[in-house]
Amino acid sequence: MPQRVLITGGGGFIGRNLTRALIERGATVRILDNLHEQVHGRSAGRHRLGSDGEVVIGDIRDASVARRALVGVDKVVHLAAEVGVGQSMYAVERYVSTNDCGTAVLMEALIGNPVERIVVASSMSIYGEGLYRDADGKLIEDMPTRAGRGDGSSGWDPRDGQGRPLVPVPTPESKRPSLASVYALTKYAQERLVLLMAAAYGMQAVALRLFNVYGPGQALSNPYTGVLAIFASRLLNGRSPLIFEDGRQRRDFVHVDDVSRAFTLALEHPAAAGNVYNVGSGRHRSIREVADMLAAAMGRDDIVPEIAGKARAGDIRHCFADVEKIRAELGFTATSDFAHGLAGLARWVASQEAQDRVPKAREELEQRGLVA
């Protein structure tokens, strides 16, 4: 019998892509989404979801909506969440309410209507700084405060207690969380709540810690979404991408098609139950490098990024994925070539319109003293 899957937050970037992937595999998909304006724009509606899935428009925090969405469902993918490190540091109630109370409402609804498996989207943000190695070869999980905040004159990269530089290395799932933002705190609570409640009520649960997801379909007008979507919006409007710190901070970028495949495996693979997995490409690049590559892909390499020389509260320096666990246990390896993926993103962006809301977002952060 084909599986019936509910995707909370299914109208978003990852949700729409995953919906298509699951339908192609013969699944029946129901989408629950509130079509928030910041993500979907003012003209949001069912026609913009771009799928053949059944649509329930409502808020995950509404218990009656959650119960209705779960009727007849075999499995759940929980994507519904407010996204953005910077905004979470002042819209605290909104992030905690949506991400954590929303998850609590969903899990409570599942008590009366249990499913076989639930897969929750966690985040690389829970790690805070990634894993480092010091000059003596020792792995460092608990990062000292970086000296380079402010004017960056002493360097942005972390150093040990003796002032020696630390070398970033791939971050495994075993690294202790270091919650540097309200967003990270809420994502960790989501992950733990789903795993705890599922085990208590005889359901299987899987948490996927997503790294920097990119690809066609991102919310270009949301200034708190993924960095490549923000850069693309700026470039589309003929403006310089804004890069905090010095641009040499390193991240792992993974294409949305690979992410959808990881969710599909997490829904189906017997070994996944009860586990937490990083979902990344296993490669890392500097933010300045990806800004330059995207500008070239969009034919706007005449636009030079603006290097802010400042950091935002909640920012971390380096974090990229150790992907050995998901490869060994689920057989997952990201296969999308980054340059090819950027070219596809650029082609899609060229057909879009985007409001550049970065100046307003920057102003909101600076007014609250969250940029230094």
Average the pLDDT over each of 41-50, 99-108, 119-128, 133-142 and give the range with the smallest value.
41-50
Residue 64, domain member (yes or no): yes
Q: Is residue 239 part of a domain?
A: yes
Residue 144: predicted pLDDT = 59
Residue 44 has pLDDT above 80, yes or no: no
Tell me whether strands 204-210 and 276-279 are parallel, antiparallel or unpaired. parallel
Rounded CA-CA distance 142/129 in Å is 8
Ranges 19-23, 47-51, 114-118: which has the least confidence: 47-51
Which residue segment(s) compose the domain that 103 sits in?
Answer: 4-367
Predicted confidence at residue 47, as pLDDT, reads: 46
Does residue 139 sit within a domain? yes
pLDDT per residue over 92-105, tens digit each? 999 999 999 999 99
pLDDT of residue 361: 74
Contacts for 22 with CB less than 8 Å, ≥ 6 apart: 5, 29, 264
**Structural domain count of the chain:** 1
Between 329 and 40, where is the model more confident?
329
Residue 118, H or E segment? strand 117-123
Convert 249-281 into a string of H (helix), E (strand) and C (coil): CEECEEEHHHHHHHHHHHHHCHHHCCCEEEECC
Percent composition of the chain: helix, strand, coil (DSSP 3-state, to 5): 40, 20, 45
Asked about 224 being catalytic, the answer comes back as: no
User: Does position 42 have pLDDT exceeding 70, yes or no?
Assistant: no
Is the confidence at residue 367, as pLDDT, over 90?
no
Q: Two tokens at 99?
A: 């991400």
pLDDT band, very low/low/confident/very high, at 146 (cuts 50, 70, 90):
low
Judge whether 24 lies within some domain. yes
Taking 70 as the threshold, does the pLDDT of residue 6 lie above it? yes
In this model, does residue 43 exceed pLDDT 80?
no
Q: Taking residues 313-325, report their average pLDDT.
A: 94
The residue annotated as part of the active site, out of 127, 183, 188, 277, is 183
Q: What is the C-alpha separation between 191 and 351, in angstroms, rounded?
A: 36
- State both tokens at 102: 């929303």
CATH at 110: 3.40.50.720
Three-state SS across 320-349?
CECCHHHHHHHCCCCCCCHHHHHHHHHHHH
Assigned domain for 356 exists:
yes
Residue 154 pLDDT class (50, 70, 90 cuts): low
The predicted model gives 258-275 an average pLDDT of 98
The pLDDT assigned to 193 comes to 98
Q: What is the pLDDT, as a whole number, of residue 52?
A: 63
Residue 363 is predicted with a pLDDT of 80
pLDDT for 151 beyond 90? no
- The answer to whether 61 touches 84, Cβ cutoff 8 Å, is no
Q: Which of 342, 154, 319 shows the shortest CA–CA distance to 246? A: 154
Mean pLDDT of the chain: 91
Give the per-residue pLDDT at 21. 96
Q: Which of 6, 181, 155 is nearest to 79 (CA)?
A: 6
At residue 206, the pLDDT reads 98
Cα 239 to Cα 107: distance, rounded to the nearest angstrom: 43
Segment 30-56 shows an average pLDDT of 69
Query: Are 20 and 42 in contact, with CB atoms under 8 Å apart?
Result: no
> Does residue 325 sit within a domain?
yes
**∠ CA(225), CA(117), CA(184), 5° rounding?**
30
Residue of higher predicted confidence among 358 and 63 = 63
| Angle in degrees, CA 274, 124, 357, rounded to 5 | 135
Tokens of 360: 């307003």
| C-beta separation of 316 from 129 below 8 A | yes
Indicate whether 332 pLDDT > 50.
yes
Averaged pLDDT for residues 182-190: 97
Asked whether residue 372 is assigned to any structural domain, the reply reads no
Alpha-carbon torsion (162, 163, 165, 170), positive or negative: positive
User: What angle separates helix 102-112 from helix 63-70, to the nearest 10 degrees?
Assistant: 50
Nearest Cα neighbor of 99 from 80, 85, 84 is: 80
pLDDT at 41 over 70: no
For the segment 291-314, the average pLDDT, to the nearest whole number, is 93
